[in-house]
Amino acid sequence: MAAPVGDIGLMGQNLILNMNDKGFTVVAYNRTTSKVDNFLANEAKGSKVQGAWSIEELCAKLKRPRKIILLVKAGSAVDDFIAQLSPHLEAGDIIIDGGNSHYPDSIRRTKELESKGLLFVGSGCPLWPLSHARWSPAAWPHIKEIFQATAAQVNGEPCCDWVGETGAGHYVKMVHNGIEYGDMQLIAEAYDILKRGLGLHEDEIADIFTTWNKGVLDSFLIEITANILKFKDDDGQPLVTKILDKAGQKGTGKWTAIAALDAGMPVTLIGEAVFARCLSGLKEERMRASKVIAGPQKEPFKGEKKQFIDDLEQALYASKIMSYTQGFMLMRETAKELNWNLNYAGIAQMWRGGCIIKSVFLGDITAAYNKTANLESLLFDDFFNKAAHKAQPGWRRIVAQAVLWGIPTPAFSTALSFFDGYRSEVVPANILQAQRDYFGAHTFKVVPGKENSKLPLGQDIHINWTGRGGNVSASTYSA
């Protein structure tokens, strides 16, 4: 069985060698043919990996149905590669996009390739989760063995499965990356609180993260953060303190935030994580602002340090629950809109291994959706409801103390605000609707039980807000 990889970068090399180790024959191709030569002469030396030095040769070496995995930059590069491949393929051949493509592009490519009799699989890198076209039942048997054999394994189960139709795979991967932005921002804020708030050294903070990694926060990102904090430069100083505080981003977090706005879903934590990176990019402006804008006079911490650190752990855990709650709400809404049948327990299970946000926490999400497949919100699950309730006191103390210190916590703060807003039966949107009707005649609806002859229930109402003393006649109302 042969499965080619379209680009030999570091990720492509690792995938090829992984497939080779699992017993698959792989044909490697890169438009820069010298990369193929170097790879075969070095990393792949002694393996069964074959090389191809042209698109024609690549396609000729593959058994039908051909299975071609593209690992190229998202966007036009994927379309260009597909255009080069298509003339050399036959009905039933399978093109797999293993990069971080935007899900609307995957939906479009699915339709375009279907019209040519080809199968398209949008697979979030590193080859999970999968999204299939309507032809996917025909494609899945041919690629399932390859994907599940090479995927990360947790408790003997592959972290790879069929997610849903058309662009669902890349959509789920996009949300994964957005959640990743949120997790990273929360960890950065926890570090800032420990560093600037408590005045701890990186070695002490590393020890705290190491301890956290043995509990509810056990995860890849917590683990690597502890390692990062311990790493010393040649002069013995923590290397992390020498890194410019100006974060980059590839765009998948922004895609998630935009998708949330389009869907009308309050995915606030991912949005704040993206904006925090944008704010970090204003380094020179922040430097000027720091000299002319004064914050609060920071008082030394006088409380119980251990209790504060425990509170911070709970605040991080609860905020993480809010982020994942929002992410799954977004997937639920989009699945409803696009008629996708997403397996939420399966998604959480796939994320448990082989990805940046892998954590013990995801096992609890899997259990929640296994118990209630149509779970409306993680906060309606007993486990997460109790966890959020338990975390509340410490969570609030942390956010309050950070505000008093003048330490920005956009992710912690918006998580708590979402929690308070979500649990509120009544929010002040009545004022917003009155304002909208006042200046733009946008209408409003009446609260059930408060209707009367002039305020009918269930109708869109507009009034003349400048009527005498607020008293208006029935003729002022319109449905």
Q: Enumerate the active-site residues.
A: 173, 180
Cα gap 207→215, rounded to integer Å: 13
Tell me which residue has tokens 């799954």: 328
Cα gap 442→434, rounded to integer Å: 9
Cα gap 126→122, rounded to integer Å: 11
